[in-house]
């Protein structure tokens, strides 16, 4: 039976020996660290047109505007620190080892900064760049570029682009994700509006298997709330540290 209620009405989650948990995080887990979400009031997508800064078409039209946007994001994220929710997930990994799969839609490095070692960044990583043209590997890049003239070029002549998955591009490692969705016993989403696919569809995919439980954590129900067993209402920093029996 579907339940939606303040988080303190629910007992902590427990995994039986050998059981696996898939955790999907969204912008909400980093909100208390000071990183702006996308769709909340005064969120990033109220201030920018998505197609200008997060699409191949926007890049083709004005790469300078795209880099200005991601340079601002780099500058902002470098001022931020992990919050208790990130720290709690890092501790959970210490306790569960490879029985936890942490998949994030976030491009910030706060999970790693909190101590998580295995993080799957399905939408790319803010502090990495790659060539727009050739298949040279992506690399760590903390620089900021505020004009077209400042954008470095690869040895092949292509321009450097952010290692970010834009709208219309394929999320990273969908095969690995599908495999983990197929073998988890518990699925938990933290702080995601459930508006962007394919991530918003993961919960339905796991619920198609018998016996898998799906839990949402955030201050309000997401767009796909009805696909979860439970929505535990509260801020990630308050809820996640006590979410699991350890
Ligand atoms: P959204 O901005 O769409 O949603 C943020 C969610 O976080 C909302 O559901 C809020 O209720 C919730 N939230 C806000 N504060 C919170 C808190 N303190 N604790 C927990 N939850 C909180 O962000 P996402 O769903 O992550 O993609 O967005 C998905 C994708 O859309 C992003 O990865 C990005 C964006 O366009 C790309 O750029 C490709």
Which ligand 1 atom is nearest residue 171's CA?
Answer: 39
**Domain residue spans of the chain:** 3-35+81-123+170-245, 44-79+129-164
Q: Is 191 in the pocket of ligand 1 (CB under 6 A)?
A: yes
Which ligand 1 atom is nearest residue 194's CA?
Answer: 25
For the cut 90, the answer to whether the pLDDT of residue 16 exceeds it is yes
Which ligand 1 atom is nearest residue 44's CA?
Answer: 2
pLDDT digits (tens, 9 = 90+) for 162-201: 999 999 999 999 999 999 999 999 999 999 999 999 999 9
Q: Residue 212 and residue 214: Cα distance in Å, rounded?
A: 7
Q: Is the dihedral of CA 170, 171, 172, 176 positive or negative?
A: negative
Q: Which residues are catalytic?
A: 123
- The CATH number for 3-35+81-123+170-245, chosen from 3.40.640.10, 3.40.50.1220, 3.40.50.1820, 2.40.30.270, is 3.40.50.1220
The token pair at 91 is 């501790």
Residue 106 Cα to ligand 1 midpoint, Å, equals 9
- Give the architecture-level CATH label for domain 44-79+129-164: 2-Layer Sandwich (3.30)
Nearest C-alpha neighbor of 17 from the set 102, 117, 99 = 99
Q: Is 222 in the pocket of ligand 1 (CB under 6 A)?
A: yes
Domains 3-35+81-123+170-245 and 44-79+129-164 share a fold: no
For the cut 90, the answer to whether the pLDDT of residue 246 exceeds it is no
pTM, two decimal places:
0.97
Reported confidence tier of residue 46, pLDDT bands at 50, 70, 90: confident
């Amino acid at each position: 039976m579907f339940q939606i209620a303040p988080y303190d009405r629910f007992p902590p989650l427990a995994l039986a020996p050998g059981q696996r948990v898939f955790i999907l995080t969204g912008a909400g887990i980093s909100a208390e660290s000071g990183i702006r979400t996308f769709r909340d009031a005064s969120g990033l997508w109220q201030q920018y047109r998505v197609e200008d800064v997060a699409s191949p078409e926007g890049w083709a039209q004005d790469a300078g505007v795209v880099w200005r946007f991601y340079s601002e994001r780099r500058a902002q994220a470098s001022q931020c620190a992990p919050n208790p929710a990130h720290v709690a997930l890092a501790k959970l990994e210490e306790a569960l080892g490879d029985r936890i799969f942490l998949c994030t839609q976030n491009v910030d490095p706060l999970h790693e900064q909190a101590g998580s070692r295995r993080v799957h960044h399905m939408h790319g990583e803010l502090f990495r760049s790659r060539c727009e043209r050739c298949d040279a590997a992506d690399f760590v890049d903390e620089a900021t570029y505020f004009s077209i003239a400042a954008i470095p070029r690869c040895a092949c002549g292509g321009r450097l682009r952010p290692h970010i998955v834009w709208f219309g591009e394929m999320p990273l490692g969908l095969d690995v994700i599908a495999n983990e969705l197929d073998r988890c016993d518990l699925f938990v989403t933290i702080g995601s509006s459930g508006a962007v696919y394919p991530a918003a569809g993961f919960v339905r995919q796991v619920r198609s298997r018998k016996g898998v439980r799906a839990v949402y954590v955030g201050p309000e129900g997401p767009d796909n709330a009805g696909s979860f067993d439970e929505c535990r209402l509260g801020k990630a920093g308050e809820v996640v540290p006590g979410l699991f029996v350890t």
